[in-house]
Amino acid sequence: MERTLVLIKPDGVERGLIGRIITVFENKGLRIADMKMCKPSKAEAEEHYKEHKGKFFFQELIDYLTEDRIVAMILEGENAIELIRKVNGDKDPLKAEGASIRGKYAIDRTRNLVHASENTENVEREISIWFDCK
């Protein structure tokens, strides 16, 4: 069994999509091992997205992630890391499959509702950020 870290980003909370997003994961057969809400600090957001530091969209991304509360979840299932990135869909709304969460609910490349870890190293690093946050 593999575990991964998922965030419902501030637009998902603001738009009232928490339930619909969680339902997609539950219907897929993924197990919610842990879940919480918190409001990211600038430091937490910058640590989470440190691989993107220096890119043209970094400041906008940090402002977005820190604007409101998020939902952080640890999800478990077979091949959960790869599977959930598929379920979330591509960050580019023009590439996201129609049935994916981003395909169904997002039209903006920055405000794209969800995050999921990309590899096992990031899973552990990101869990330690978000399961310590207030």
Reference 11, options 65, 80, 89; nearest CA is 65
- Told to judge if 48 belongs to the known catalytic residues of this protein, a careful annotator would answer no
Tell me which of 20, 109, 122, 129 binds ligand CDP, using CB under 6 A.
109
Reference 8, options 71, 62, 101; nearest CA is 71
Q: Which stretch binds ligand CDP (CB under 6 A): 16-24, 33-41, 73-81, 109-117?
A: 109-117
The SS3 assignment for 31 reads: strand
Q: Is 8 in the site for ligand CDP (CB under 6 A)?
A: no
CB of 124 to ligand CDP, least distance (A): 17
| Interface of this chain with ligand CDP, residues 30 to 69, rule: CB under 6 A | 52, 57, 60-61
Q: Is 20 in the site for ligand CDP (CB under 6 A)?
A: no
Catalytic residue among 115, 117, 127, 133: 115
Q: Residue 98 half-sphere exposure, CB side, CA atoms within 13 Å?
A: 0
Q: Is 110 in the site for ligand CDP (CB under 6 A)?
A: yes
List of residues 6+ apart from 96 with CB closer than 8 A: 89, 90, 102, 103, 106
Q: Residue of minimal CB distance from ligand CDP?
A: 110
Measure the CA–CA gap between 45 and 66, rounded to whole angstroms.
Answer: 7
Q: Which residues bind ligand CDP (CB under 6 A)?
A: 52, 57, 60-61, 91, 109-110, 112, 115, 118
